[in-house]
Chain A
Amino acid sequence: MKVSVESTPKGIARIVLDGRLDVAGTQAAESEFNAAVAAAANVIVDLSKVPFIASVGIRMLVSGTRTQTKLGGKMVMMGPDEVTRKILFTTGIDQLVPVRDTLEEALASFG
């Protein structure tokens, strides 16, 4: 499970998660993800390289969002595959954290 951060226009960080967000993957990614999320108020979380996510992974993403709100910023998720998107929908996460398909759309949602 790899976590990397790329910059995008408008100073919005793009956190790229690469690997499964199951129990082991979440544990491996957690502290790096939390640190990356705390370092910038506005972040895009790129899920295009996440082939699997369970509720433990969703928990990690959501606790990240709470940090953004505390910092006065916003988090947007980007590029989930079909099943992942359905999981975000079933858990109601997509109503609280915007989910977009492409980077352009994600950037646009920051206004």
Chain B
Amino acid sequence: MNQLTTRRRLLKGIIDTSMNAVTSTWLQELAEEFGITHEDLYRIDLCFAELVVNVVSYAEAQFVGQPMELHAAVEAERITLTLIDPAQAFDPLTLAPPAKAEKLEDLQIGGQGIPLVREFSNAQSYERRDGKNRVELRFDLAVPTKAPCREAMVPRGIDRRGGDVPATFPLHCRDGSIVERERRQASDRRAKSFLSWSQIFHGVPYSDLEELVDRFPIQSIVGGAVVLSPGEMNSEVLIVLAGRLEIYLDQPGAGTFIEIAPGGCVGEMSVIDNQPASAYVVAGAGTKVLVVDANSFLNEVMAIPNVSRNLMAALSERMRRSNEQIILRVRKEMEMERVQHELAYARSIQESLLPKAPLFPGEPRLDCVGRMITAREVGGDFYDIFALDAHHVFFVIADVCGKGLPAALFMVRAMAALRAQSGGHHQPAEYVERVMVRLNEQLCAYNDAQQFLTAFAGIIDLDTLMLHYVNAGHNAPLLALGNDEFTYISDPVNPIVGMIDGIAYRAGKVALTPGSALLLYTDGVTEAENTFVEMLGEDRLQARMNAVIPRRSESLVEAVFVDVHEFAGEAAQSDDITVLSIRVAPPVGTGA
């Protein structure tokens, strides 16, 4: 690449979900600066959205929060961008593309990122160097880039021959970025003259500063860029001219920060004591800083009378503010602990709402087992099963949309509403339809948050073995009649509960036989994901259940949880997993 016509820009961030937004903003600013078309920007934005998401998702825990960089090299008709991260060796370009899906259920969403990167960039390469992953993408641009006005100010060869050109611009920074010198514009002149008011230069005549300070470059930093991370060695003092720098003791963006307003500076401690940075420094929007290298700062800036004293005053104030931050942080941690305790308590209350095992211990005609494992401290799934009288059993399994506390609260309302229904179950079809209609009515009311649930409820007549059920948008349960194989039953399908009032729910019916088994579950089972972002799926569940012999509820339920655990592998549980197995006793004498 021709050094004279390649313009370079650098974005510094960290391995964290914030990197996505910062990268997009930075790319947009780049596009404005160089006249990149909307379509080309979309391509570049898309490719790096996918790459950054990959880095952040695949990085092992110890790398989270470490610095990552995006370098841009802008030429006349193309731009090459390199993403550099220090996480474990990982080449995203080797990820196999997902198989083309025939049916909607087969579509794998995970893994679509890299095919998009290949399709929308013109060349891709990966290298592992110096303990870092480097992914480089090249984009051939539709329209030649425009030269920024600063380009014209770089002295041409003929001007250099004079021998007394003082500075050497473009300035090559230690981190590999290149900062071009801007011929002093009015706004910069104002910004620099403002320095004599700033903390560190307080009381110093501007004329003493002027010559010194004109040597140092002004750098614009995009809002959200992480200028320093803990542990990073730093060799510059940054003096804020516009915008602000935010110092975070914890993760950037989390809670409070110490603000460094125009006039303040950052990095002076590291330059003095040669220790690495101890906090995250993040740029606010529209930030401009004066970059003073360590040598100049120590030998020349610090030598100016008053500067040392001002510096000590600034440092002691910073220490005081830092102590305040630490106290706030400790208080917040104590509060978090209290909340965790309360949530754990809430979970135990919620678990106690579910019917206790063993279900129907004294009833020889039924073999029922239910189990639930929530994804968070509280969940939105539930099941219930109880006798309406000596001949009829009512059951329900349900899944509230969403997770955590809001889902749990909605779930409690639903359970209470269901248990409050009574009477009229001698007409079982009408009964179960009415139960669902009333539940829907009650949940539609006072439902500003627009929550909803799916449910499958039914009533079994233990004498006739007739099952009447209503499916309200729930996962089709598996039914095995007698010794037959499990198959899915779902018709008639009704809408979900809690969104639209006045729905007429319709029941279905099946004549059960001795030994029949009904396996109800929530989508935490069939939509359990593994690390390849594949789903367990209905076919696998059906095959597993058909393989369970003898077909006891305990064994069926256990097999589901074992299979989900095996399938998911390292992937975290993202949804509540709930299973309810209802089995009618086999014919007398079979001993099963």
A: residues with CB less than 8 A from B are 20, 22-24, 31, 34-35, 38-39, 41, 51-56, 58-59, 62-63, 65-66, 69-72, 82-83, 86-87, 90-93, 96-97
Bound form: Cα–Cα A31–B450 in Å: 10
Interface size on B, residues (CB 8 A): 35
| Contact A23 to B17, CB < 8 A, known contacts A59-B109, A69-B104 | yes
Specify the chain A residue showing the minimal Cβ separation from B119. A90
In the assembled complex, the CB of A37 is this many whole angstroms from the nearest CB of chain B, namely: 11
- Against A, the Cβ 8 Å flags (1 = close, 0 = not) of B306-326 are 000000000000000000000
Contacts of A71 in B (CB 8 A): 473, 493, 495-496
Contact B116 A87 (CB under 8 A): yes
- Against A, the Cβ 8 Å flags (1 = close, 0 = not) of B222-264 are 0000000000000000000000000000000000000000000
Check if B174 is an interface residue, CB within 8 A of chain A: no
Interface of A is mostly: helix
Contact A72 B493 (CB under 8 A): yes
Contact partner, A24, options B20, B109, B116, B493, Cβ 8 Å = B20
Contacts of A38 in B (CB 8 A): 401, 452, 473, 496, 499
Check if B574 is an interface residue, CB within 8 A of chain A: no
Q: List 6 A-B contacts (CB under 8 A).
A: A22-B21, A38-B401, A83-B46, A87-B116, A87-B120, A92-B100
- 13 new A-B contacts, CB < 8 A, other than A35-B450, A69-B104, are A23-B20, A23-B21, A38-B473, A38-B499, A54-B46, A54-B116, A55-B53, A58-B112, A69-B105, A71-B496, A90-B116, A96-B101, A96-B104
Contacts of A63 in B (CB 8 A): 109
Bound form: Cα–Cα A110–B38 in Å: 33
Check if B115 is an interface residue, CB within 8 A of chain A: yes
| Contact A87 to B104, CB < 8 A, known contacts A22-B20, A55-B109 | no
Contact B493 A91 (CB under 8 A): no
Check if B465 is an interface residue, CB within 8 A of chain A: no
In the assembled complex, the CB of A25 is this many whole angstroms from the nearest CB of chain B, namely: 10
5 closest A-B pairs by beta carbon, nearest first, are A54-B49, A59-B109, A55-B112, A23-B20, A83-B42
Contact partner, B53, options A23, A34, A39, A58, Cβ 8 Å = A23
| Contact A66 to B105, CB < 8 A, known contacts A23-B17, A35-B401, A83-B43 | yes
Bound form: Cα–Cα A35–B49 in Å: 26
Check if B328 is an interface residue, CB within 8 A of chain A: no
Highest count of chain A CB atoms <10 Å: which of B42, B401, B500? B42
Contact partner, A96, options B24, B107, B119, B402, Cβ 8 Å = B107
Contact partner, A83, options B39, B103, B450, Cβ 8 Å = B39
Contacts of A72 in B (CB 8 A): 493
Contact B499 A22 (CB under 8 A): no
Specify the chain A residue showing the minimal Cβ separation from B103. A96
| Contact A24 to B21, CB < 8 A, known contacts A39-B500, A72-B493, A87-B46 | yes
Check if B113 is an interface residue, CB within 8 A of chain A: yes
Contact residues, B470-497 vs A (CB, 8 A): 473, 493, 495-496
In the assembled complex, the CB of B333 is this many whole angstroms from the nearest CB of chain A, namely: 25
Contacts of B402 in A (CB 8 A): 31
Specify the chain A residue showing the minimal Cβ separation from B42. A83
Check if B351 is an interface residue, CB within 8 A of chain A: no
Highest count of chain B CB atoms <10 Å: which of A58, A63, A86, A92? A92
Specify the chain A residue showing the minimal Cβ separation from B47. A54
Contact A66 B20 (CB under 8 A): no
Contact A65 B104 (CB under 8 A): yes
Bound form: Cα–Cα A91–B107 in Å: 10
Specify the chain B residue showing the minimal Cβ separation from A60. B109
Contact residues, B86-111 vs A (CB, 8 A): 100-101, 103-105, 107, 109
In the assembled complex, the CB of B179 is this many whole angstroms from the nearest CB of chain A, namely: 29
Contacts of B120 in A (CB 8 A): 83, 86-87, 90
Contact partner, B115, options A23, A31, A82, A91, Cβ 8 Å = A91
Contact B401 A22 (CB under 8 A): no
Contact A22 B100 (CB under 8 A): no
Contacts of A97 in B (CB 8 A): 104
Bound form: Cα–Cα A31–B119 in Å: 30
Bound form: Cα–Cα A99–B66 in Å: 41
Check if B441 is an interface residue, CB within 8 A of chain A: no
Highest count of chain A CB atoms <10 Å: which of B112, B402, B500? B112
Highest count of chain A CB atoms <10 Å: which of B46, B50, B496? B46
| Contact A55 to B50, CB < 8 A, known contacts A31-B402, A87-B116 | yes
Bound form: Cα–Cα A83–B40 in Å: 9
Check if B563 is an interface residue, CB within 8 A of chain A: no
Bound form: Cα–Cα A22–B109 in Å: 15
Specify the chain B residue showing the minimal Cβ separation from A89. B119
Specify the chain A residue showing the minimal Cβ separation from B45. A52
Contacts of B496 in A (CB 8 A): 38, 71
Bound form: Cα–Cα A41–B473 in Å: 11
